[in-house]
């Protein structure tokens, strides 16, 4: 799955409207009230719980279709912020995409002719 990250969502809310403020990405207080009391809190809650809900929904649909839960690896620089305590996420690897690019480059170089 590919989906917009939290920072992109917050930026879109700010830039795509005339009155919503710029808000830095942060996890809401998990011990506090689920319901926001200010506009910036509401924006953070919407993004935070929206991202977590998106992943939960996709994982549950996968399990229903295939009869087993998938291994879920959260990637990206903000993965820990969203998923450090999530029951569906087995691992957090922030730089997984870069690792994949490095492996692909190594494989391409290994297969390249010497004089190329």
Query: Where do the structural domains in the chain lie, given as residue ranges?
Result: 6-111
d(CA 10, CA 44): 8
Give the model confidence (pLDDT) of 71-89 as tens digits. Answer: 999 998 899 999 998 999 9
d(CA 73, CA 77): 13
Domain 6-111: CATH architecture, name and number where available: 2-Layer Sandwich (3.30)
DSSP secondary structure letter of residue 7: H
Give the model confidence (pLDDT) of 2-32 as tens digits. Answer: 888 899 999 999 999 999 999 999 988 777 7
d(CA 41, CA 52): 16
Confidence of residue 115 (pLDDT cuts 50, 70, 90): low
Helices and strands (H, E) in the chain, number of each type: 4, 2
| Tokens at 106, concatenated | 């190594």
Quick check: 48 and 40 in contact, CB under 8 A? no
Write out the E strands in 9-79.
72-75
| Tokens at 43, concatenated | 């924006």
């Amino acid at each position: 799955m590919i989906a917009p990250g939290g920072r992109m969502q917050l930026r879109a809310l700010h830039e795509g409207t005339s009155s919503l403020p710029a808000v830095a990405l942060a996890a809401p207080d998990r011990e506090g009230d689920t319901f926001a009391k200010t506009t910036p809190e509401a924006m953070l809650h919407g993004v935070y719980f929206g991202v977590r809900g998106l992943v939960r929904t996709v994982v549950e649909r996968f399990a229903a279709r295939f009869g087993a839960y998938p291994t879920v690896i959260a990637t990206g620089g903000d993965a820990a912020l969203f998923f450090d305590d999530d029951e569906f996420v087995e691992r957090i690897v922030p730089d997984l995409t870069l690792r994949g690019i490095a492996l692909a480059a190594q494989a391409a170089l290994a297969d390249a002719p010497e004089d190329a």
